[in-house]
Amino acid sequence: MTDLLWLAALVALPTAVALASYVRFDVERLRTLSVAAAIAMLLTALFVARSPALRDLSIRTDALSWAPGGDAVIRLNTLSAVLLPFAAALWLLTVAVTPRAALDRGGLRRAALATLVTLASFLTESPVVLLMLSVASVWTFLSALGDPAHARQRRIVWAYLGFSTLMLAIGVAILVSPGVRHPAIEAAGLWLIVVAALVRKGIVPFHAWVPEVFDHGRLGPAILFSAPQLGAYITVVLIVPRASPEMLRLIALLALGTAVYGAALALVQRSARRACGYLFMSQSALVMAGLDCTSVTALAGGLVVWLSAGLAFGGLARCVLVLEARRGRLDLDTYHGGYERTPLLAISFLAMGLACTGFPGTLGFVGQELLVDGAVDLFPVMGFAIVIASALTGLAVLRMYFSLFCGRQDALAHSTLRFGLTRREAWTFVALVIALVAFGLAPRPLVDSRFAASSEILRLRDARLRSTP
């Protein structure tokens, strides 16, 4: 019962903010409330993640599935326990550093709802519930693109993510329906779920919507939609336990290609936003590649990269958003300068970019090392692809850093204008960088928990494959 109370507290916080957004508060007061709720949620989620007693909760029902024993509609285990603070941290990052110009009541409500959906998704293993939450998250994202200026991007997202959701719906229907027990039909259903996950994660050849939405859509909602990587969760919960080794290998190959492709294209972009889009594709693909390995170490590496890439990429893209609020749209073909005016933003951008590339001393390094180390015996090509992707990502990040903060005496606008970060923004970035470095320098508790989760996932996979005729 205590377990459920803790989970209820987690769910209540974003719900309360979403409800408060209907009260006629001043937007800044609503933001303060959101920040307080996000900090409270982060602390609660950290407590849940650290508490062994709360880490094995399962509520099953056969109302949503014909599988024997039903499905776990609420499931808190080693995998999801760490994902809860991750979702809370992303919410905190969103509400704490979104520039005032891009902030409105609807945006804060959507951020709370998106967090609620992410949280609920990480707490279930039921395909039907995951499908419903996937629809809800796409709807939240689409509602952020509701204004006429983003009509085209809305249609693009609608086309791609609508297709993804449709595939997921058909796949889940096949998976849970009682009459279908033929292996070929089950495999077809699984392939549809795979396609849905690939589209959602922007894996080549289903990727074109990602850079487009980052470039011309609204960057804030795009980050909040992408960074938690619900596609990765769908992969771990629905695909990995059921897929054949050949299917996993094909997904991993596509993901590796995307990791290199995204990093290479991020390097030549003229728009900072579009470069962020390609960087996200590359990072997200690395996670996918790790998740589709049947090695405990590589899967643990994928799970670590999931967290590090989500936080580091979320922070990096937020830096771009904060900078855009001060300087307008950012072009990477010219030098913008301004390091001396916003040193903290520059240092944070560099640190988070380096965490994305897997630079030593950050959490990204630990994840990528595990990924390479675990995959190299089963799949040597993965090692080389990660090496190339990491090298290109490093160059792309440094190019962005030099262009956005260096190469010019001072920033473009008048010297009397205030360019520095607000205290809230400054401390949020400092906290994020410290978290990425602290987990990078002392990764053992986190990595051990990811090893435990990875072993559990592969144990379930083996059990399921053995029980399949």
Map the footprint of another protein across residues 279-308, applying CB under 8 A: 296-297, 300
If binding is defined by CB under 8 A, does position 118 make contact with another protein? no
In the complex, minimum distance from the CB of residue 269 to another protein, in angstroms, rounded to a whole number: 7
Residue 281 CB, shortest distance to another protein, in Å, is 10
Tell the smallest beta-carbon distance from residue 254 to another protein (Å): 16
Stretch in the footprint of another protein (CB under 8 A) among 20-28, 39-47, 133-141, 373-381: 373-381
Q: What is the contact mask toward another protein in residues 148 to 167, using x (rule: CB under 8 A)?
A: ----x--xx--xx-------
Residue matched to tokens 């499908």: 131
Judged by beta carbon, residue 29 or residue 152, the one nearer another protein is 152
- Residue 104 touching another protein (CB under 8 A): no
Is 318 a binding residue for another protein by CB under 8 A? The answer is no
Of 127, 171, 211, 231, the one binding another protein (CB under 8 A) is: 211
- Rounded to a whole number of angstroms, the minimum distance from the CB of residue 30 to another protein is 24
Interaction between residue 182 and another protein (CB under 8 A) = no
Q: Is 448 a residue that touches another protein (CB under 8 A)? A: yes
Q: Is 276 in the site for another protein (CB under 8 A)?
A: no
Select the residue interacting with another protein from 201, 231, 394, 458 (CB under 8 A): 394
- Which member of 53, 63, 406, 463 binds another protein (CB under 8 A)? 406
Which residues in 245-274 contact another protein (CB under 8 A)?
Answer: 261, 264-265, 267-269, 274
Residue 216: CB minimum distance to another protein, A: 8
Binding residues for another protein, how many (CB under 8 A)? Answer: 76
